[in-house]
A and B are shown apart, each in its own frame.
Chain A
């Protein structure tokens, strides 16, 4: 009777089990479902495929996509293609990790718990913060949770957020704020960075937090020192969203006095996957420890004094506090956090510095190469691995021409901003070779 390799029940099993229960048929077990809500007839979904046909079909679907491994890509804007050491995937395929649930039974979850404890430590190292949680859905939802936490903690209702923050993060933030009846006030952009005068003007005694991105959406490096001075002129929180790879070179937000640092660990070992799943991180100062959303792993000892790890400070969470919880979030992105930790371990202390520097060097080389062809950058401040070029034609058109020449161009900023249809945001990571960058510059010739 059984055509399905994931279903071990034989006819004989079924009969024995029905006998033990004391019923005649399977139908009897479903007598509590009223007839009028019973589903009549087969589900109209595609038919089952045996494994060989399934592989063929899934390969057909995958084959209809252009992947960024086959073409040099200059897309970034929050999702980056980076070097992924082979060991990352091999370790993630250890099924004791990926087939486990949340480590609520610490005695048989020490591996996962220790791996996450190490991840938390690495995030603290990068951001310069006192503690980090075990991860969140992604960078933008981490940013949103940070804003919600600030409003809860400061008992204020106004969120100031820079227009240089990722536009999709801004959208997610607005959706959430509406749910909580909080106000989102946007701070203008000036020369590719947060307009500090506008920030100063909009900052009031009801400001719960100020959110900036570092490096920001346009690739520019924000002046965190000035942002800090304004934010801490009263009791508001400074929230910084940061590409963690850039922190291999940039002074960490913690050293500027940030209260919360969030971002996405995707640059470390996590494939782009059309934008998800990635891995949000969330780090805070000690003062906010008991307000952090999501799971935290802590170190402790067992009855014989041996070091071990547990989920801790759970009194903040929904399964204990229900409607009084600090957040409704239940899961994290444990497997991706583990992957990021493995990648960070492989890349290591000096590798991180070198990788970050290569991004910066290559992006600067690319910007110069384009400038040499007569293209004008939109902004001139310091930047990490992304910059904006101003064209005289629409970027969507330019990208089509580039793709004809085998290159995936950068992001058309017109996608998010009216009036920026001729601006392209280019990302250059350590994976782009000099040859590819030169090819981009030549392919663009005549596109000015």
Chain B
């Protein structure tokens, strides 16, 4: 990583430089005033940068060098599944026959794209044990909200308007309760037991005629498999509710168990986690949703169907909740996911989960002597550590996370789930080698020792990054959300 401060692109702009090569205007130029009344004309040009092509390339190359990705180094960010993003996926998504399609071309012109979407729908249905998948949702939270809207439509379709509550575990991802509210429900929290699993007695207490659904991640965000999933499904189904599977942790279960077989009625998957599409610094992702038969009539249209050898868009969803996204979802991301599924096949996908789980358990066992590990059960694809012991020495989990930066690692997820004190949540994924896991564990052990012997080294970390700890308080109190020439000039003078 480079340590030079990088100027803003606006600061390197100089009147008269260009970085483009637009086509020539080959029709007669008509006077603007004839085309557009002056009241609609822009008076001052938007201040976009004026840089040459090389300046631009240097700028973005410099920025990339101030960024850490999976290709730069280990990225054990819990619940995010930061696995390798295969290069061939990027090549395929850029084929002109995929990249340069318009959503309003007729079906006859996009049969290959429709075949791909159809096969991806089928593959995801098989992996999740669901009857029908829609590829429309753009990301995980979008999928959650779509799934909850489907559940709401299902209840209301049966004349049941009293189901106002969605039950969410205290360990759930923040999007779960937020999505429930946006779908018009009230989110109620079910407690976890000391073992880290949903408290069945509390669940029974909360469940009733007003229960629309239980949202669950399994394995949960502590990395533990909810063993009593069938009992939970029974409690919810008997009360007339539905089970929603948050697919964030699907990397642990491919070919091993399926949400459909566990009793779930609705599932979303994060293709940018489990199916190797890149996170892109925060998106774009893709969050397909799968449902069991009784929810199919409510799906957003269209779904890709096959009639003979021809693929068609089926709009035949009489009770549809309506569109959740324009066009057909994040097709470019779905192309990458399908490419991955074809790379791995059934045996490969199962190996993914087996090895992801083995990696996580191996790391957990290596780190157990040095950190508090709140749960006994074997973990699945991720695990949590608590920094309680280090906190007593004056070293916070945040400090340890920052210290890991000095070793060239992206730290684990910290302070989540919120029910574990000083939490560190580690997800190695299956694409990391044993050597990498060992080196990371060695670094963690060294930090645990530093916390005891030289705590200031940890407290003052990071020592080697391009920038030190940033003043987030001032950033929020006096927000500067864009560059302004005036402000820049005044700080200079």
Contacts and interface: CB of A to CB of B under 8 A. Distances in A.
Contacts of B59: 345
Nearest to B117: A274
A322 interface: yes
A313 B401 CA distance: 22
A442 interface: no
Interface string B260-279: 01110000000000001011
Given A14-B358, A175-B300, A330-B175, A43 B48 contact: no
A276 B101 contact: no
Contacts, number: 679
Interface stretch (B206-214, B237-245, B327-335): B327-335
B148 to A, nearest CB: 8
B348 interface: yes
B97 A67 contact: yes
A180 B184 CA distance: 5
A378 interface: no
Contact of B47 (A17, A48, A51, A125): A125
A209 interface: no
A407 B103 CA distance: 16
A446 interface: no
A81 interface: yes
A61 B112 contact: yes
Interface string B316-342: 000001111111111111000001011
B72 interface: yes
A95 interface: yes
Interface in A94-115: 94-103, 105-112, 114-115
A152 to B, nearest CB: 11
Interface in A19-65: 20-22, 26, 28-34, 36-39, 42-49, 51, 54-55, 57-65
A338 interface: yes
Interface residues on B, range: 35 or more
Contacts of A69: 96, 100
A251 interface: yes
Nearest to A66: B109
B130 interface: no
B365 A21 contact: yes
A374 B109 CA distance: 29
A303 B468 contact: yes
Contacts of A423: none
Contacts of A351: 18-20, 22, 48
A189 interface: no
A174 B320 CA distance: 12
A434 to B, nearest CB: 4
B249 to A, nearest CB: 13
Interface stretch (B33-41, B288-296, B385-393, B450-458): B33-41
Interface in B320-373: 321-333, 339, 341-352, 354-355, 357-359, 361-362, 365-366
Interface in A331-369: 331-336, 338, 342, 344-355, 357-358, 360-362, 364-365
Tell me which of A48, A67, A83, A135 has the highest count of chain B C-beta atoms within 10 A of its own C-beta. Answer: A67
B322 to A, nearest CB: 4
Interface in A126-179: 126, 131-132, 134-135, 137-141, 148, 166, 168-169, 171-172, 174-176, 178-179
Interface string B1-36: 100011011100100011111110111111010011
B324 A348 contact: no
B38 to A, nearest CB: 9
B144 interface: yes
Contacts of A349: 13, 45-50
Given A94-B61, A300-B474, A319 B405 contact: no
B384 interface: no
Nearest 6 pairs of A and B residues by beta carbon: A275-B327, A62-B97, A48-B345, A64-B112, A335-B280, A275-B103
14 contacts: A3-B348, A6-B84, A20-B365, A33-B256, A59-B95, A95-B72, A103-B281, A111-B63, A174-B322, A248-B45, A277-B333, A317-B174, A323-B180, A361-B29
Given A37-B261, A97-B69, 7 more contacts: A45-B127, A61-B113, A97-B281, A107-B465, A180-B184, A249-B36, A349-B47
